[in-house]
Amino acid sequence: MFEIPDPRRSFIAAARKLIYDSDGPAASLDGPQDMPRLTSNTLDKVRMARTRDRILSNLEEMYKEAFDRARASEDPSQMVALDFAYRREQLYFEILLDLRDSMDRRQG
C-alpha cells in the first residue's frame, strides 16, 4: 500500500539538515558576523537615508503620472481625489522627514 508522506516530518528533516549537517547550507557561513541583521548598530554604521528632495520628487512623479491618466480619461472626481491625496501624503512625508532630521541632529 502507498503511504502518503507527512509534510511535517519532511519539514523537520529539512530543518535538521539545514541546521545540524556539516555539509548543509549553514556550514558555508564563517560565523554569526556573516548573517545580515538589521540592528540599531547596523543602522548607525550604514546611513541609507534618502534625501528630502528625492523622496518628495518621487512622490510628485508618482502622483503626476496618476493625475495624467485621470486627465486623459476625463475623470474630474478622480483628479480632485488625487490632488487631495497628493497634498495629504506630502504633508505626512514632510512630518516624517522632520522627525528623521531632528533625530539625526540629536544623535550626531
Q: What is the pLDDT along the chain (108 residues), one digit of tens a residue?
A: 567 778 888 878 887 777 777 666 656 655 555 556 666 666 666 565 788 889 889 999 999 999 999 999 999 999 999 999 999 999 999 999 899 888 878 876
What residues contact 97, with CB distance under 8 A and at least 6 apart? 52, 55
Distance CA 56, CA 53 (A): 5
What integer pLDDT is reported at residue 5 of this predicted model?
A: 75
pTM value is: 0.51
Distance CA 79, CA 72 (A): 10
What residues contact 83, with CB distance under 8 A and at least 6 apart? 67
Q: Which residue has the cell 548607525?
A: 44
Distance CA 54, CA 3 (A): 59
